[in-house]
Amino acid sequence: QKMKQWKFKDNSECPRCGTEVEDPIHILACPSPESDTVWNTSLSKLEAWMKSTHTLPEMQKVILQHLQYWRQPLTKHIDPVPDVYGLRAITAKQNGIGWYNFLRGWISHRWIGAQQEYYVWLGKRNTGRRWATMLIKKVFEISWDMWDHRNHVKHNCMTPAKQRRYKELNKLIQKHYDKGNASLL
């Protein structure tokens, strides 16, 4: 969108699905089937990380379900949030901040306290603060994966915009070919 505004491109179309205006939210929420695959793979990586760091299981479920619901609100279902470690209030707070903002690293500080309490209950020496820092890095990786896929499609695949441009170029070539060589020096 900005590239078109700055006149570096002639359109702001999504290279994956062809939507007319591609903005930062669309890069994460693009409905193309390939984007779904990248998104699901990224969430699987996030889930594996959460399991490996002993994230509160109910918290894992809440985060993953809400991220899926944010991306596809009409096709996904969210289970009721259990009130373990104040998870219901934490989720409500994050809903207020927004799940797109969660993906941008703006997480509720209450996640830290709940995870810290869980670590204490487990008898782990890990800290909720370090866990939150790593969580933010992991959600940034989701954004990176989606951005990287978008750029791969844009630069290495035949997009609708490229097809239109090639048609225009072929018409110009045909027009010059039809003129013949009589007017050449």
pLDDT value of residue 115: 97
Distance of CA 28 to the CA centre of its chain: 3
Distance of CA 14 to the CA centre of its chain: 14
Do 56 and 135 contact (CB within 8 A), yes or no? no
pLDDT value of residue 57: 97
DSSP state of 85: G
pLDDT value of residue 3: 64
Do 112 and 135 contact (CB within 8 A), yes or no? no
pLDDT value of residue 155: 84
Query: What is the distance between the alpha carbons of residues 47 and 179, in angstroms, rounded to a whole number?
Result: 62
pLDDT value of residue 61: 96
pLDDT value of residue 16: 87
Query: What is the distance between the alpha carbons of residues 119 and 113, in angstroms, rounded to a whole number?
Result: 10
**H or E segment to which residue 49 belongs:** helix 33-52
pLDDT value of residue 7: 66
Q: What is the mean pLDDT of each run of 10 residues along the chain (185 residues)?
A: 65 82 91 95 98 97 96 84 94 96 97 97 97 98 96 80 75 80 72
Which residues fall within 8 angstroms of residue 18, CB to CB, at 6 or more apart? Answer: 159, 160, 161
